[in-house]
Amino acid sequence: SIGLSTPVTTMDPHFHNLTPNNSIAKHIFETLVHQDEQQALKPGLAESWRAVDSTTWEIKLRKNVRWHDGTPFTAEDVLSTLKRIPNVPNSPASFAIYMRPIVDAKAADPHTVILKTREAHPLLPNDLATIHIIPKKAEAMSTPDFNSGKAVIGTGPYKFAEYVSGDRVVLTVNDKYWGPKPAFAKVRFRMITNSAARVAALLAGDVQMIEAVPTADIENLRKDKRVSLASVVSNRIIYLHLDSGREKNSPFVTDAAGKPMEANPLRDARVRKAISKLIDRNAIASRIMEGEAKPAGQFLPETFHGTSRKLTPDKYDPEGAKKLLAEAGYPNGFGLTLHTPNNRYVNDEKISQAVAQFLTRGGIPTKVEAMPSAVFFSRGSKLEFSFLLAGWGAGTGENSSPLRSLVSTFDPKLGNGAANRGRFSDAGVDALVQTALTTIDDTKRGIMLAAATEKAVGELMGVIPVHYEVSTWGVRKGLAYKARVDQYTLAHEVKTSK
Amino acid sequence: MTVYVLRRLAQTLLVLFVTSGLVFGGLYLVGDPVEILVNPQADQEERARTAAALGLDKPVLEQYGLFLKGMFAGDLGKSFVFGRPALEVILERMPATLELAFLAMLMSVGLGIPLGLYAGLYPDRKTSKAIMAGSILGFSLPTFWVGLLLIMVFAVQLGWLPSTGRGPTENVFGFSISIFSVEGLRYAFLPSLNLALFKLSLIIRLTRAQVREQALLDYIRFARAKGLPRSRVIGVHLLKNILIPLVTVIGLELGSVIAFAIVTESIFAWPGMGKLVIDSIFQLDRPVVVAYLLVVVFMFIMINLVVDVLYSALDPRVRIAEAK
Amino acid sequence: MKEFLSNRIAATGLAMLMVVIAIALFAPWISPQNPYDLGKLDLMDSRLEPGGKYLLGTDGQGRDMLSAIFYGLRVSLLVGAASGVIALTLGGLLGVLAAYVGGRFESILMRIVDIQLGFPAILVALILIAVLGKGVDKIIFALVCVQWAYYARTARSAALVERGKEYMEAARGLGLSRTRIVLKHLLPNASPPLIVVGTVQVAHAIALEATLSFLGLGLPATEPSLGLLIANGYEYLLSGKYWISMYPGVALLLTILAINLVGDQLRDQLNPRLSRA
Amino acid sequence: MFFHAGNENQRPLSPSPVLELSNVSKRFSKRLDAVEKFARRLGADVPEHTVHAVDRVSFGVARGEVVGLVGESGCGKSTLGRLACGLIEPSEGQVLYKGQRPAGTQRPQMIFQDPFASLNPRMRVEEIIGEAPVVHGFVSRSELKNYVSEMLEQVGLDPSYRRRYPHQFSGGQRARIGIARALAVKPDFLVCDEAVAALDVSIQAQVLNLFMDLRENLGLTYLFISHDLGVVRHLAQRVVVMYLGRVVESAPAAELFAAPNHPYTRALLAEVPRLERKRREFAPIKGEIPSPLAPPAGCHFHPRCPHATERCAREAPVLREIAPGRLSACHLNG
Amino acid sequence: MLEIENLVTEFATRDGIARAVNDVSFELKPKEILGVVGESGSGKSVLGYSMIGLVDPPGRVVSGSVRFEGRELIGLPEEEMRALRGKRIAMIFQDPMMTLNPVLSIETQMVETVFAHESFDRAKARKICLENLELVGIASPERRLKQYPHEFSGGMRQRVAIAIALLHRPALIIADEPTTALDVTVQGQILYEMQRLVRETGAALVWITHDLSVVAGFADSVAVMYAGRIVENGRTEDVLHSPRHPYTRSLLDSVPANNIGQVRLRQIPGMTPSLARLPAGCSFRERCGHADAQCSSMPEMKTSVRCHHPLC
Ligand SMILES: Nc1ncnc2c1ncn2[C@@H]1O[C@H](COP(=O)(O)OP(=O)(O)OP(=O)(O)O)[C@@H](O)[C@H]1O
Ligand SMILES: Nc1ncnc2c1ncn2[C@@H]1O[C@H](COP(=O)(O)OP(=O)(O)OP(=O)(O)O)[C@@H](O)[C@H]1O
Ligand SMILES: [Mg+2]
Ligand SMILES: [Mg+2]
């Protein structure tokens, strides 16, 4: 048994693009391109892929792969999948975004697929790593068909056995799987959303593995002989977004005495830098996160593609900050309210409190206002805040994702800056990101992305990175799990250890 | 009586209508579901697509109009999260909640009334004082805290009972029920105890207070003068006279135990409606929340109707107001 | 009063309650630290064990637990008492009135009660937070919202019984006004279950506030109540850092114990048959 | 006292009486529920319980008069008293007090038959008695204490009982509290429903004397419900006799006691126990006692009447004037 | 059959200890009817409760003995007492509204009394109940059985209570003002039935009342109570026709029948003293026309009267 932290809401792999759903889907279905625990691309149902020219990709499919019902896997299945994805009715979060660059898909032969993109799209393989392939006959199946299990036929290491909404998913091993055999014949995923209860279930032995071990229990579990932990720095950054869009009358900026202030100091990069310097990231990582976080200086840990080698987390430097504030014309500081969700990220509200604590001490009296994400994100997107805390997980595993969504100029037409709730805007950054997005050459693209990051974060502080979350799994003694940056909990990756 | 019941049922429709409006308005004020549902990576186009797919791009009044139209056709809309009819999602979870509620009420009524009677009849005994003090424990600590404590003690430390989850289910008349097996009861015990504690205390205290009110009245003395056995004096004469407020509170608690097992269900990972609705509320899954509220309000109306009808059965002086 | 004190348990309860109220009133002067001032907290002192610099240890933010409990008591008492009193008054009155007036007024009121009862506190709190933001006043408002209906029904049921009794007829015969009959005759006689439900619900309000806080819908985390402290410390329960939630829990328990001991005695005294007179 | 013979819609002949009942009926019925109705459909014998507690009663009471109302237990005396005070609404007919429906402070005061049930168990005697006078403003709060003490003394209770609760009194003491409560609002009309039944004779004497004094000094009017004929005889100027919801006879007290007309009245007087009597044998009532649930046809009294004829079983006799100021409902009167 | 000796029952009140029954002694033989009369509040009801063991806190029987059929009732275990109550000793309470349970039908309340002591089948139990209702003059007993107390008039409730007390034909009946709410015809009927019962079953009857005229024609002997004590006790004729205690005398003087032709009834001057603050000595002293210095000590009960200056 495995204790999951968030409920699995559907068995339809294309219905709702959500980590827990995808995680379960990855047991039953497979993607053309796999990602390893570091999100590095690996052959999946596709043995290989290459860009024939800047807009054409040729994908060679694996032979001798069979669906759970015994029929062989072919290019037709891939085409059906691509056809179904944009057309799942009522989907609250579809996978269509990953398909949008593709303008045409053909089967060159039963085991080769040719994809054409509108313009150069270097990230196509990364996108493909999110798309679960379903058999042709499931193309017309509806979401309820999947939930009932009727349509749940994949090629993955596990077969569907049972799904009880809100309670559990049971899978049995697929003996004919082409890849390595999983260690367990039957897996029960139990949804235990309360984190303390999840830990208790692990300690009581009711489950053998849990995901998202709460930070409060890490220290204790580490000492506990019955369990062991597996952790990794994830692809999720916790950052602070500042209102750098409004010239004046930012809603929650006040002067040091708490009276409304017309000028918006947050527009000034020096002020943003000063705020960054006021935060003791090490203290947050060790005290609030109990070591389950790594101070961040950019969007993704350095191991990821497109990150900068030069950027390091800002040092805690109240003196330097004071100087910068004075330079910017705010020697006496000013007042802020930090808005934060309180049920979205690990310890989100506590981090905010700590940040506020540091800023207050550094001469910027800061209040914290926490709210559930249901309220937070709506208000945040309506730009009702001046200063907010949020997080970003780069699903594609590449630095282009945060660059494009967080610090590119808000532009619905291009799909840029969708999560840019501070309305940071810099033409230089935009240009670099835009070019990078159409550069097929990985090295060249990487350099451009790193440069953009250095400018957007290192220099201009479009967002203030705080830390990367560490994802931790707990397993009973005798089991081992290789922690994944994408936070998926994959039963077939659990090994028995001696 | 018949007229009365029929009138109440007619009022029910109106009540449901008002409820749906309130929830619609309330959730509209809370925030935009798209923000929550959509994958954070999504760009503006995908957001717009989601809004359109879920019908959230229309003005809210129009959405409400559409919903009402559906409601009269018996369709409460599809869950945003599950993509299935909201009512179906709820009804699927209902048996789990109902069995928990049933066990919890059984515990609290079955224990609470006798203990309350005892404490009320012998207010000066040590045992009674202990009962009363103990009952304070039952409601002074937050449920979630007590819940975890129960898990820690009975599952982690002692290992007697499973920590979380629901036991194996059997299909009984089309509902999956877990409490007909010993294994199922083992799973259900801690959560229902957790739920029952508060009600238990309340019922003990209420019973005691009512007993203290009534036990000295002349009709009790007369019943004793008739030579009735003590059990009958207490179990019939006394009990029936104190029952009206008790039945009210039991009805209310039954309703609340069904409707708001939220915390207990999430701590014990019990796959019931409460757990569903809290997720749905946080995800702004409006159709589920609306459908849930309609179901719950309907249930409260029914419970309260039964309780009101019971009043006149319990006390002939209470005539249900029937406008002439 | 003399009679009150003659009961040893009740006297202890009263003494406890006085202490609790005193602590709540004087928290700013007797606390070693102002737990609400973020600038005074030191993250590096977080989760220290009891003893040493901080008598009852510190929480995850480096907040002194003792001070936090003192301040939290203040908030919790305010929330519990204010919401309890308002909801009781409002619900009790409306319920009794419904029973007395009957007819359409009763129907409408009771249907509103039905609706209100069905609304989970979470939803009400969430809507309030979205519309009004967080704060003690909002949480009190939310608690009153979800609790008045409960009182209304309890009060109505008791009043329905009393309404049929002869002394009500006598009161009408004296030409007393409706308001007076409801307030002076019906309400006191319908009150025993209300008082029980009331004392329990005050505790419940405090616990509910804790639950809402636990779900992130309660008070601002920077101004913790006892409930919020318990909720915050909750996650440390399994990890051996018991003090973060145990001490506020004990404080809450003692407070509620005191309220109830006093409440029990008061109720018995309000009943002329039981008081030794 | 002003009577209108018969039970049809006649207006009273007299100069406006203070209290006037015309053709008043009160029925209590238990509605059948769905199941019972259905059972009746199927022919089952499910009776619809209707009690004619008061059946087309008309009479008036003039200012300053004392009218005694006597009758068998369960014949509707208390119900009539409640109707007179406007505590219940008549099913038919009209009750007028000073030309208006009794309401608010404009109504006779009632002293209830059941002393305990009519006292609010959570109020102290002081509040029970003093509440209404303070509310209606005849007494200020500061005078209240003295006023209540005065009232208590009037009914023969020690003023130190002021701060007690009703349950701490004996039956007779409770009855006196009820009387004090009614007197405290300075009524000009009192409906005394067995007001002295629970009192021992010495207190009874004291209270009756009080009633008489009040009548003399303040001109109070009384409707005095009692079955203690000795008391009625002593107090009342006129007596109305009820039987099973109907008035059967009414006459000036002296005349009635001297020469009762209606057979029921005669039976009543014959049964009155007397102090001077020696130990005696009691005799059972002859004939069956009729039920208000199923009153006999014709004259309600005929099953017990020694003079009953076949006509009595058929036809209800009308209340008719048999002598000036005397009315009786009996076929024997011709 | 019934011997009561020096019975004392006290209530703890705010003003102090109130002796509601103070040093009461009397005897009762089978078939004897004892009328207990006295001032309201003089402890008549409490005396009744003391005999049947139903004095509730804050009251308690402090001392004395109640012997019934040779058994001491004071201190008898509750279960044995219960077996006697309703079966051998029955009591009819004073306040008819409060004695019947308002939420149970008359049928339930009667049938359960039958079942408390007998194991008949239901039909037989019902039959007994119907007979007894008829006995006390309730018409349509079949239908009345289904009704609830509040649907009865005051007098009918009282009759129901009497019917319940008579169900088992007890050996001792304590009737606390059972006919105050009844008209004379019905009262006559009940007195008749009581007399018959006494004659046929040899029951003894304690008849608490203030209707002296009923006592006159009905009781064999009379006990007059004042402020918790029996002040005069004797054969009915003797007590009523030649009272020896001044209180009894005044009582008789107040009866309306003895005041015919007078506008005002004679009444006893002064006020009943509060039981918790009785004057020292004879309790009637302050209201008595014959009181002198001797009366400041408590008179003994001598030849049926407790008075220093018995009238002759
Ligand atoms: N529960 C009680 N608490 C205090 N005093 C009480 C209580 N019950 C009765 N008493 C007192 O005991 C005395 C005797 O009461 P009891 O009821 O026996 O009077 P009684 O002779 O039956 O009078 P009545 O003829 O009016 O019924 C009264 O003075 C009364 O006030
Ligand atoms: N609320 C009620 N519901 C049903 N029947 C009632 C109600 N009140 C009174 N009755 C019936 O009405 C009839 C008259 O009752 P009422 O109380 O007026 O009698 P009464 O003359 O006062 O008798 P008593 O002298 O015994 O008090 C009785 O048969 C009684 O059963
Ligand atoms: Mg009456
Ligand atoms: Mg008495």
Please report, for the domain that includes residue E28, its CATH number: 3.40.50.300
Q: Reduced to 3 states, what is the DSSP secondary structure of residue A368?
A: strand
DSSP assignment of E225-289, as one string? EETTEEEEEEEHHHHHHS--SHHHHHHHHHSGGGGTT-SS----SS-PPPGGGPPSS-TTGGG-T
Closest CA to A341 of A388, A401, A294, A406: A388
- C277: pLDDT confidence band, cut at 50, 70 and 90? very low
Dihedral, CA of residue C204, residue C209, residue C211 and residue C215, to nearest 10: 160
Q: Which of A197-206, A451-460, C208-217 has the lowest mean pLDDT?
A: C208-217
Average pLDDT value over all residues in chain C: 81
Number of domains comprising chain C? 1
Q: Is E152 in the pocket of ligand 2 (CB under 6 A)?
A: yes
C-beta atoms of C193 and B206 within 8 A:
yes
Sign of CA dihedral D283, D288, D294, D296: negative
Q: Which residues of E touch C166 (CB under 8 A)?
A: 97
Q: What is the CA radius of gyration of chain A?
A: 24
User: Could you tell me if E76 and E290 are in contact, meaning their C-beta atoms sit under 8 angstroms apart?
Assistant: no
Tokens describing residue C269: 């005294």
Number of domains comprising chain E? 1
Tokens describing residue B311: 């009043």
DSSP assignment of D29-71, as one string? EPPP-HHHHHHHHTT------EEEEEEEEEEEE-TT-EEEEEE
- Atom 28 of ligand 2, nearest CA residue: D74
Q: Could you give the C-alpha distances from D319 to B114, C102, D222, D330, E128, in angstroms and in order?
A: 60, 40, 23, 7, 40
User: Could you tell me if B225 and E85 are in contact, meaning their C-beta atoms sit under 8 angstroms apart?
Assistant: yes
Flag whether C34 is in a domain. no
- For B139, other C-beta atoms within 10 Å of its C-beta total 26
Rounded Cα distance, A418 and E225, in Å:
97
CA-based nearest distance E13→chain C, Å: 5
Q: Ligand 1 centre from E228 Cα, in Å?
A: 9
Please give the distance of CA D307 from its chain centroid, rounded to a whole number. Answer: 28
Rounded Cα distance, E53 and B225, in Å:
9
Flag whether E305 is in a domain. no
User: Could you tell me if D157 and D173 are in contact, meaning their C-beta atoms sit under 8 angstroms apart?
Assistant: yes
C-beta atoms of E54 and B227 within 8 A:
no
Q: Is E228 left (phi over 0), alpha (psi -120 to 50) or beta?
A: left
Contacts of E among chains (3+ CB pairs under 8 A) = B, C, D
The amino acid that residue C87 corresponds to is: A
Rounded Cα distance, B234 and B250, in Å:
19
DSSP assignment of E182-210, as one string? S-HHHHHHHHHHHHHHHHHH--EEEEE-S
Closest CA to A453 of A444, A443, A463: A463
pLDDT value, residue B111: 92
- Higher pLDDT pick, B269 / E310: B269
- Atom 27 of ligand 1, nearest CA residue: D171
| Rounded average pLDDT over A25-36 | 88
Q: Which residues of B touch C158 (CB under 8 A)?
A: 244-245, 248
Q: Could you give the C-alpha distances from D260 to C141, D249, D268, D303, D311, in angstroms and in order?
A: 73, 9, 9, 19, 22
Does residue D6 surpass a pLDDT of 60? no
Q: Ligand 2 centre from E96 Cα, in Å?
A: 13
| Rounded average pLDDT over A31-46 | 87
Measured from the Cα of D79, ligand 2's closest atom is 18
Does residue B322 surpass a pLDDT of 70? no
| Rounded average pLDDT over E238-245 | 85
Q: Reduced to 3 states, what is the DSSP secondary structure of residue A334?
A: strand
How far does chain D reach from its first CA to its final CA, in angstroms? Answer: 24
E162-174 core/surface letters (b: 16 or more CB in 10 A; e: else):
bbbbbbbbbbbbb
Q: Ligand 2 centre from D64 Cα, in Å?
A: 28
Q: What angle is formed at CA E180 by the lines to CA E175 and CA E181, rounded to 5 degrees?
A: 115
Q: Which residues of C touch D107 (CB under 8 A)?
A: 173, 175
Phi, psi of B259 (to 5 degrees): -80, -35
Three-state secondary structure string covering C131-150: HHCCCHHHHHHHHHHHHHHH
Q: Which of B150-159, B168-177, C221-230 has the lowest mean pLDDT?
A: B168-177
Q: Ligand 3 centre from A51 Cα, in Å?
A: 105
Hey, which residues does E232 pair with through a beta bridge? Answer: E224, E305
CA-based nearest distance C276→chain E, Å: 7
| Rounded average pLDDT over E249-278 | 77
* CATH number given to D13-31+49-108+188-273: 3.40.50.300
The tens digit of pLDDT for each residue in B217-235 reads 788 888 888 888 888 888 8
B125 touching E (Cβ < 8 Å)? no
The tens digit of pLDDT for each residue in B85-98 reads 888 888 888 888 88
Q: Could you give the C-alpha distances from C182 to A40, B210, B255, C163, C192, in angstroms and in order?
A: 76, 21, 28, 10, 15
Of E212, E256, E271, the CB nearest to D156: E271
Which residues are CB-neighbours of A326 under 8 A, at least 6 positions away?
Answer: none
CA-based nearest distance E14→chain C, Å: 4
Tokens describing residue E1: 């059959």
Q: Which CATH superfamily is domain B86-323 in?
A: MetI-like (1.10.3720.10)
How long, in residues, is chain E? 312
Q: Reduced to 3 states, what is the DSSP secondary structure of residue A465?
A: strand
- For E98, other C-beta atoms within 10 Å of its C-beta total 22
Which class for A319: exposed (0-12), middle (13-18), buried (19 or more C-beta within 10 A)? Answer: exposed
D45 touching B (Cβ < 8 Å)? no
- Atom 2 of ligand 1, nearest CA residue: D168
- Atom 18 of ligand 1, nearest CA residue: E43
Of B40, B84, B166, the CB nearest to A392: B40
Measured from the Cα of E225, ligand 1's closest atom is 21
User: Could you tell me if B301 and B252 are in contact, meaning their C-beta atoms sit under 8 angstroms apart?
Assistant: no
Q: Reduced to 3 states, what is the DSSP secondary structure of residue A238?
A: strand
The tens digit of pLDDT for each residue in A263-311 reads 888 888 899 999 999 999 998 888 888 888 899 989 998 888 888 888 8
Q: Which residues of C touch A370 (CB under 8 A)?
A: 134, 216, 220-221
User: Could you tell me if A450 and A265 are in contact, meaning their C-beta atoms sit under 8 angstroms apart?
Assistant: no
Measured from the Cα of D26, ligand 2's closest atom is 12
Q: Reduced to 3 states, what is the DSSP secondary structure of residue A91?
A: coil
The tens digit of pLDDT for each residue in B108-162 reads 999 999 999 998 888 878 888 888 888 888 877 788 888 888 888 888 888 888 8
Q: What residues of E are in the B interface, CB distance below 8 Å?
A: 49, 52, 54, 56, 78, 82-87, 90-91, 93, 95, 98-105, 108, 112-113, 116-117, 148, 150-151, 161, 164
Measured from the Cα of D54, ligand 2's closest atom is 14
The amino acid that residue B201 corresponds to is: S
Q: Which of B1-15, C113-127, D189-203 has the lowest mean pLDDT?
A: B1-15
Q: Ligand 2 centre from E154 Cα, in Å?
A: 7
Rounded Cα distance, D114 and E97, in Å:
7
The kind and range of the H/E element at A46 are strand A46-53
C-beta atoms of C238 and A361 within 8 A:
no
Rounded Cα distance, C270 and A460, in Å:
70
Q: Is D52 in the pocket of ligand 2 (CB under 6 A)?
A: no
Rounded Cα distance, B191 and C136, in Å:
31
B315 touching E (Cβ < 8 Å)? yes
Does residue D42 surpass a pLDDT of 60? no
| Rounded average pLDDT over E242-271 | 80
Query: What residue numbers bound the domain in which E19 lies?
Result: 2-88+168-244
Beta strands in A268-406, from DSSP E residues, in sequence order: 293-295, 334-341, 366-371, 387-393
Which residues are CB-neighbours of E97 under 8 A, at least 6 positions away?
Answer: C166, D114, D116, D117, E149, E154, E157
B79 touching E (Cβ < 8 Å)? no
Q: Could you give the C-alpha distances from C169 to C98, C162, D122, D191, D197, in angstroms and in order?
A: 17, 11, 15, 14, 20
| Rounded average pLDDT over D178-190 | 88
CATH 1.10.3720.10 domain locations along chain B: 86-323
The tens digit of pLDDT for each residue in C130-188 reads 788 788 888 888 889 888 988 998 888 888 888 878 888 888 888 888 888 888 888 88
Q: Is D116 in the pocket of ligand 2 (CB under 6 A)?
A: no
If one residue of D29, D78, D291, D293 were mutated to test the ligand 2 pocket, choosing by the most ligand atoms within 8 A of its CB, it would be D78
CATH assignment of the domain containing C147: 1.10.3720.10
- D289: pLDDT confidence band, cut at 50, 70 and 90? low
C-beta atoms of E116 and B226 within 8 A:
yes
Does residue D5 surpass a pLDDT of 50? no
Its pTM stands at 0.84
The amino acid that residue B106 corresponds to is: L
- Atom 3 of ligand 2, nearest CA residue: E151
Rounded Cα distance, C185 and D119, in Å:
10
